[in-house]
Amino acid sequence: MSSDAKDGKAGFTVNDRRIFADEKGEARVEQTSPPAAQAQTAPPAIDFHTFVLSLGSSALLHLGELERPGAAGPEIDLPMAKNTIDILSMLQDKTRGNLTPEEQKLIEGLVYDLKLRYVERAGGTSSPPRSPPSK
């Protein structure tokens, strides 16, 4: 059993057990160490904050607020930005009443900010809603 399985962590290890013959024709087993690219650390645990912030980053990328790595400049994709913002809004509605105050504040602030940025980018007004006129 590998050490990962003993720790209860998901993963696997590949051991090369091929047998090679040397110049004299005798069998030998080569011991190889894993390349540095394969010996990476585990990614951080996914929780509500990282999931919501990941979706928010995707929306900002589609709004052209962030540059895609390797791209010449920001790329704007308003339909994808709207789709991602709608996903966050749906998540906000479906999780209402089941979040900690910090999680609720995070998703409310993020959705509000992304909607304002979307309206600005789409050519609408960015002014906050006016209160009804007094009589």
Nearest to 122 by CA among 88, 66, 76: 76
- Give me the pLDDT at residue 131, please: 44
- DSSP assignment of 57-78, as one string? HHHHHHTTSSPPTT-SS----H
**Residue 21 near residue 29 (C-beta atoms within 8 A):** no
Per-residue pLDDT of the chain (135 residues; tens, 9 = 90+): 444 445 555 677 777 667 666 677 666 655 555 555 555 788 778 899 999 999 999 999 999 998 888 878 888 999 999 999 999 999 999 999 999 999 999 999 999 999 999 999 998 654 554 444 443
**Residue 76 near residue 62 (C-beta atoms within 8 A):** yes
CA distance 124 to 116: 9
Beta-carbon count within 10 A of 47 CB: 9
Residue 22, token pair as written in the block? 């040397």
CA distance 110 to 97: 17
- Give me the pLDDT at residue 133, please: 44
Tell whether pTM > 0.75. no
Domain range list for the chain = 48-122
Cα separation values, 68 from 60, 61, 62, 64, 116, Å = 10, 7, 9, 9, 21
Per the listing, tokens 């006129």 go with 133
User: Alpha-carbon Rg of the chain, whole angstroms?
Assistant: 25
